[in-house]
Structure 1
Amino acid sequence: MDFKDLNAQATFTNKELEERRKYFEDLIKRRYFFNQGFEIYGGVAGLYDYGPPGCAIKNNLLKLWREHFILEEDMLEISSTCITPYPVFKASGHVDRFTDLMVKDVKNGAGHRADKLIEAFIEAKLSKKKLKPEEVKELEEIKQKVETFSAQQMHDVIQKLGIKSPDTGNELGFPEPFNLMFGTPIGPSGQLPGFLRPETAQGMFVNFNRLNEFNGGRIPFAAAQIGLGFRNEIAPRNGLYRVREFDMAEIEHFFDPKRPEHPKFKYVKDLKLPLLTAKSQEHGDGSVTQMTLEEAVKSGTVSNETHAYFIGRTFLFLVEAGVNQNNIRFRQHMSNEMAHYACDCWDAEIEFSHGFKECVGLANRSAFDLESHTKGSGVKLLAARRLPEPRKVTIIDITLDKKEIFKALKGDGNELTKLIEGYSDEQKAELMKKFETADSVEFDIKVKEVEKKVQLPKALISFKVSEQMQQEEKFVPYVIEPSFGVGRIFSAILEHSFRMRDEKRTFFHLPPKISPIKCSILPVISHEKYNDAIHKLKVGLTKVGVSSKVDDTGHAIGRRYARTDELGIPFGITIDNDTLVDDSVTLREILTTKQIRIPINDVFRVVSDLADGLITWDSVLAKYPLFKPNASEEN
């Protein structure tokens, strides 16, 4: 392996990522970026803890996300609870449809996620056996589309390929849906069921009216939330990629479906991105098309300008965070894999050592969620648009005799009143027409998952009709949702930033904004005569907002450079005897290992500007004299 060439390039092939993986994993473990949770008890699959450098990198990643999206786009950030009552996820569709297909070992009952089991079997078969070209083609097609298969299709593939339980070699049962949400009772009685949220999105939908009011009733606007999500994954795998507890950063951009244009689309319209369309996957060869976002919108490839705008902004964020731009593609969901809430969806997929994987979902959720929660809660979640001209409209107000309804229908009365109070103007008019010719009307309601028919007597409902001039009309906003898997992006950044000087000296070349610590302070030897200079540097760097780490252990300076490199610290300040004479230090950059001589009074501003991306290392090299360390000090 040519380490020098690998360090210089900006893109890695899948093979190169695989070749470096064992060195990468060794560094992650040795320097405690993250590890499996409850390690001393044997660990638990799908649960991970972040160590000090990993925690710092994750926090810097989230800081950049806030700056890139929340601050630049004037988004409204909220923080909602992780525990969510049952009715919310019943209304959202998660109770019925948030599932993966699972197959069980027919003898011991061990569960396996069906699509991942098939994928792993195919990967092993392709790597170990000599197959005919037509067999390879068939297996690769199955692997590409397996996530879209129905239960029957997956069962047929398992039978055809002769796939057995990987642990025992036993037969596998028929694929069955497994709900991924963690259930939990709320309160000591256990009578209020709930779930740990699998996404943060619902907290923004149920608070839509408050957010809309806070924003002065102006549409479009975006809400954002960073927080934990929980999914009881059948088959956690690939480190932080598929876990059971994870950080999410989600945006819900609410807009008028009659005005899907975005005022800032012009700033991203010329971005040419690799798009893997649904059509290419379903009817073509699965090839990626390079296309500008403007071309994608005009051709109907992407649903609208607002959707395309967030695809572009997501790409720019990933690149700024340290993901190699040539290892990113955007894949459109095929019709048979679309989430229950989406009418169009694109994934930002990043290439890892184990292939391209979804890290950001960008869904057009249309009005699904706000309509679902209106129906489920009985509270209207609406926005308003100004009319070009005032118009006269008929208003129907319904009054229900709730006391008598509850008395007559008992527990069913609450569901009935909630249903009627959620009616649209058209539904109110239709109901009034029914009561004009009937003494009672039958309604279909659902109480605790049981469907019922109830009768409402005419005497318990009244209608008041009036006319008024309307300046605006109500509508249900549509939603574009970019959903970021923080741990997945974190993993991609580390893989793409990993470098090797040789097999023993490995390090991370991270963007300074993402680095866990921006600068190291290294006296050339450990001696008390350098303490005042260390103190001055530490205080000065802290005042300009630059994090730093002092390493004054007795190890050789070259060894200490290597230790700070392993943590991805981009810059190192070295104190030597000249520092005591002329108040200057050397400043070293991690990738090139070049050093300059610079006055202490200059170094604070220079390191701060380098860390913020305001200047480049090349510009610093051009301004300050190059310093040549002794052979014993070289890294």
Structure 2
Amino acid sequence: MAEATTKKGQPLDRGVLESVLRRRLFYTPSFEIYGGERGLFDYGPPGCALQANVVDLWRKHFVLEEDMLEVDCTMLTPEAVLKTSGHVDKFADWMCKDPKSGEIFRADHLVEQVLEARLKADKDARGMTIEVDEAKEAKKKRKIKDTKIEKLDDAVVQEYEETLAKIDNYGGDELGDLIKRFNIKGPSTGAELDPPKAFNLMFQTQIGPSADRPNGYLRPETAQGQFLNFQKLLEFNQQSMPFASASIGKSFRNEISPRSGLLRVREFLMAEIEHFVDPEGGKKHPRFEDVKETKLTLLNRKVQLSGSTKTEVVSIGDAVSTGLVDNETLGYFLVRIQEFLLKLGVDPTKLRFRQHMANEMAHYAADCWDAELFTTYGWIECVGCADRSAYDLTVHMNKTGAPLVVRQTRAEPLVIEEYQVDLDRKKLGPKFRKDAKAVENAVEALSQELREKLSLDLEKSGKIELQTPGVGTGTTELGSDLVKIEKRKRTDYVREYTPNVIEPSFGIGRILYSLMEHVFWTRAGDEARGVLSFPPMVAPTKVLLVPLSSHPDFKPFVKKLTSRLRRVGVPNKVDDSSASIGKRYARNDELGTPFGITIDFQTIKDDSLTLRERDSTKQVRASEDDIIAAVKSLVDGEETWEQVSKRLPAFEGQEVD
């Protein structure tokens, strides 16, 4: 696995970054003074501001630009809803238990961790010289040259790498086989692990005081509320298709073994889109032509199943035309996801789209790709983009009878020739009594092929036999006195269909943490000074106001600047402490503040100010009006620092430790 690096190409020390993030209160473990609770975190002021800015950009990039319909649905979900959707029976991960210590592990993660650790040890061992203490009693050490730690056989290395490439494709039995084959034991005890078992990830809850058992769940995703409101949203959209709904809110998953900070938690913010599309016509998208030349880094399922993780850079137009990506709408959203992540400041060299393999993809999905970001924890799934076909609307419609369909008047009436069945219900009831309805349903469910065959049987013998499970022997005979089957023409003026759904699903917490790794670096020669190079649009605070000293003449300027910046919507902070200007800027570089304005004695004379850029530490000087206009332009993304620094006079000086 490649080594994670900082924005400037330095080896990334996760401990240093996490120390900065916790010390500066981006986030902190929940309930820490009570010992904490794994998988739960609180966001501090800069973390809240960063998250709010990311969500705001998400809304602008998707909801506004794509004209989506935003909804906010309840987090409490009745059991019947999630039973119908399949979550009660299938929303599970595989866990295994150490019988000696009682520790529980997520099986795929344990296999992954152990194999990666062995590969790393093997890599470190190859060609490594070591020191051996041959005379412990004398405490004398002698360096033995060209001595190597025992390393893995090349075939074993290849097997480990191939297993890791396919790790997301394994089910419970396969994971159990891997644990045995690779001799994976309890990490703390060395004990044999119990076979993997499925563990449902949803939190049960009781809705209402009279329930005698849990009758609901905290939602594991925001999607189901959008599906259940489909008919109302379609009506709100004046029956126009295609359209998309969007939702941002908390979801809950009872993770088996929370780890990796913000990457695997039990409560998290999701942003999900459900794009409803007509299944006829290849699921085309009207804006696909605008993006078809955009290139994406793709890791397809065939490559993974071969035991490799080699990616290829492909234009989305080619990926769709060759069938690598299933359809235009799915491809369009992959591009839009990439554009969004790059706007946030994600490193494009640490972004790839990985296609789901057969075992990890939902049975109803036509295709699914994850946007993954590379971090010190490896490749992390941050966005999923799936073609969910018509599954969700269909199962909820079948369960409730609600018309979750689109009805459109045809431009040209459609003449359909088909076999139609007529039942004499006056005779059917007395003959079959309580089973009459079941027989009627069996007749109505007959396919056109069966109706054609049975019409020939009826014509030949005067009777037909139906498969009717649960009625008598399971087979029912109907004579020509009860049933007629004829081929007739009908004119269809209205088309009725169940839309398919393309679903981009964003894990906001995972995106935030990955982004913080991607933008973190330290200044050369001063590794204690961490810098978070957030783009101005998402930075928690946009501008630091730094009066040169505590001189009373500076206070009116600081007050006026603060007010003017707030009026134009630019969040700012004042640091008038006694520390040097350099130290004050360094403290706020750790918070990711992109710009600083210095108020000095020259400001008192002519209202001019210096504007400092975080990453380069370069400064320009201009009038108050020009500086505020420049900051507003930079924060809104209308100008870059390079453009501003070319049109405003450069300034040297001021920043000292």
TM class, shorter-chain normalised?
Answer: 0.7 to 0.9
Q: Give the equivalent residue in structure 1 for 2:176.
A: 155
Instruction: Give the 3-state SS of the residue equivalent to 1:505 in structure 2.
Output: strand
CA distance in 2, matches of 1:443, 1:214: 42
User: Does the 8 A contact of 1:93 with 1:340 survive in 2?
Assistant: no
Q: Give the match for residue 117 of structure 1.
A: 110
2:138 is matched with which residue?
Answer: none
Q: Does 1:55 align with 2:79?
A: no
- 1:68 corresponds, among 55, 61, 73, to 61
**What are the Cα deviations for residues 327-354 of structure 1, in whole angstroms up to 9, with x where unaligned?**
1111101112212442210011111112
- Following the alignment from structure 1 to structure 2, what is the Cα–Cα distance between the partners of residues 424 and 528? 86
Cα distance between partner residues in 1 of 2:507 and 2:115: 27
- In the alignment, the residues of structure 2 paired with residue 242 and residue 444 of structure 1 have an alpha-carbon distance, to the nearest angstrom, of 47
Which residue of 1 is the match for residue 91 of structure 2?
Answer: 98
Q: What residue number does 1:615 align with?
A: 639
Instruction: Give the corresponding residue for 1:279.
Output: 302
CA distance in 2, matches of 1:231, 1:517: 32
- Whether 1:492 and 2:514 are equivalent positions in the alignment is yes
Task: Quote the residue 1:196 is aligned against.
Answer: 218
Alignment match, 1:534:
558
| Partner SS for 2:494 | strand
Deviation of the 1:442 alpha carbon = 6.0
The AA in structure 2 aligned to 1:34 is Y
- Residues 397 and 322 (structure 1 numbering): CA distance in 2 closer, same or farther, change over 3 Å? farther
Partner SS for 1:473: strand
Q: Deviations over 1:504-540 (max 9, x none)?
A: 1111111000000111111011232211101110111
Q: Are positions 1:471 and 2:464 aligned together?
A: no
Paired AA for residue 591 in structure 2: L
Deviation at 1:283, TM superposition (A): 3.1
| Distance change >3 Å, CA 232–CA 543, structure 1 → 2 | same
Contact 1:236–1:242 under 8 Å retained in 2? yes
Q: Which amino acid aligns with 2:633?
A: D
C-alpha displacement of 1:323: 0.4
Say whether 1:552 aligns with 2:576: yes
CA distance in 2, matches of 1:473, 1:612: 46
Q: 1:89 aligns with which of 58, 74, 82?
A: 82
Asked if 1:235 corresponds to 2:257, the answer is yes
Letter of the structure 2 residue corresponding to residue 83 of structure 1: L
Preserved CA contact (<8 Å) 1:225 1:249: yes
Aligned to 1:580: 604
Alpha-carbon spacing, 1:437–1:47, altered in 2? closer, same or farther (3 Å)? farther
Amino acid at match of 1:92: S
Checking the alignment, whether the CA contact within 8 Å between 1:78 and 1:223 is kept in structure 2 is yes
CA drift of 1:187 comes to 0.8
1:439-469 alpha-carbon deviations (Å, 9 max, x no partner): x996779xxxxxxx9x9xxxxxxxxx99985
TM-score normalised by length of structure 2? 0.84
Query: What is residue 634 of structure 1 aligned with on the other side?
Result: 656
Which residue identity does 1:362 align to in structure 2? C
Matches within 5 A, 1:349-364: 349-364=372-387
- For 1:3, the equivalent position in structure 2 comes to none
**For the residues of structure 1 that align with 2:364 and 2:40, how far apart are their CA atoms?**
28
Deviation at 1:237, TM superposition (A): 1.3
SS in structure 1 of the partner of residue 388 of structure 2: strand
2:160 matched to 1:139? yes
Tell whether 2:255 aligns with 1:255. no
1:598, distance to aligned residue in structure 2 (A): 1.4
Among candidates 211, 223, 235, match of residue 245 of structure 2: 223
8 Å contact 2:546–2:576 — kept in the other structure? yes
Aligned mates of 2:27, 2:609 — CA distance in 1: 34
- Structure 2: distance between partners of 1:397 and 1:93: 36
| Secondary structure, counterpart of 1:366 in structure 2 | coil
Distance 1:588 1:252 in 2: 43
Report the Cα distance in structure 1 between the residues aligned to 2:260 and 2:40, rounded to whole angstroms. Answer: 12
Alignment-derived partner of residue 207 in structure 1:
229
The 3 A distance-change label for structure 1 pair 511 and 444 is farther
**Are the equivalent residues in 2 in contact too, given 1:341–1:369 (CA < 8 A)?**
no
2:577 aligns to what SS in structure 1? coil
Distance 1:88 1:437, change over 3 A: farther
Q: C-alpha distance in 2, partners of 1:35/1:566? A: 16
Contact 1:91 1:375 in 2 (8 A): no
Deviations 1:595-632 (A, max 9, x none): 111111222211010101111112221222211114xx
C-alpha change, 1:424 and 1:584, in structure 2 (3 Å) is farther
2:601 is matched by which residue type in structure 1? Answer: N
AA matched with 2:649: P
Deviation at 1:397, TM superposition (A): 12
How far apart are residue 108 of structure 1 and its match? 4.6
Deviations 1:290-320 (A, max 9, x none): 1100000110000000000000010010001
Per-residue CA distance 1:242-290 (angstroms, 9 max, x = gap): 1111000000000011131101011110011111111111136332111
- Amino acid corresponding to residue 232 of structure 1 in structure 2: N
CA distance in 1, matches of 2:422, 2:75: 37
Deviation sequence 1:327-382 (CA, Å, 0-9, x none) = 11111011122124422100111111121111100101001111111122221211
Partner SS, residue 19 of structure 2: helix
In 2 relative to 1, CA 468–221 (structure 1 residues): closer, same or farther, beyond 3 Å?
same
CA separation in 2, counterparts of 1:141 and 1:254?
Answer: 37
Closer, same or farther in 2 for the Cα pair 1:108/1:500, shift >3 Å?
closer
Amino acid of the residue matched to residue 40 of structure 1? I
Do 2:542 and 2:571's aligned partners in 1 also have CA atoms closer than 8 Å? yes
1:598 to 617, 622, 633: 622
Contact 1:223 1:251 in 2 (8 A): yes
Deviations 1:558-578 (A, max 9, x none): 111111111111011110111
- The 2-side partners of 1:628 and 1:367 are apart by 63
In 1, are the aligned partners of 2:7 and 2:520 still within 8 Å (CA)?
Answer: no
Partner of 1:462: none
- The superposition leaves residues 469-517 of structure 1 with CA deviations (integer Å, 9 ceiling, x where unpaired) of 5432101111100000101111111111112112111111110000001
**Pair 21,533 (structure 1): closer, same or farther in 2 beyond 3 Å:** same
The one of 289, 306, 322 equivalent to 2:312 is 289
* Structure-1 separation of matches of 2:604 and 2:528: 34
1:389 alignment partner, SS class: strand
SS class of match (2:206): strand
Q: Give secondary structure in 2 for the equivalent of 1:302.
A: coil
- In 2, Cα distance between the equivalents of 1:599 and 1:156? 71
Q: What is the root-mean-square deviation of aligned Cα atoms in Å?
A: 3.4
Residue 565 of structure 1 pairs with residue 589 of structure 2: yes
Q: Identity over aligned residues, as a percent?
A: 46
Q: Deviations over 1:408-458 (max 9, x none)?
A: 99xx9xxx99x97xx98979x98xx99x989x996779xxxxxxx9x9xxx
Q: What is the rounded CA distance, in whole Å, between the counterparts of 1:565 and 1:256 in structure 2? A: 49
User: In 2, distance between residues paired with 1:565 and 1:601?
Assistant: 25
Cα distance in 1, alignment partners of residues 81 and 596 from structure 2: 52
Q: Work out which of the residue numbers 184, 194, 212 in structure 2 matches 1:173.
A: 194
Amino acid at match of 2:610: T
Which residue number in structure 1 is paired with residue 357 of structure 2? Answer: 334
Q: How many residues align?
A: 596
> What corresponds to 2:406 in structure 1?
383
Q: Confirm whether residue 34 of structure 1 aligns to residue 57 of structure 2.
A: no
Does residue 536 of structure 2 align to residue 512 of structure 1? Answer: yes
- The equivalent of 2:333 in structure 1 is 310
CA change 1:588–1:87 in 2 (3 A) is same
Q: Structure 1: any 5+ residue segments left out of the alignment? A: 1-5, 446-452, 456-464
Name the amino acid aligned to 1:596. Answer: V
1 CA distance for matches of 2:580 and 2:344?
Answer: 33
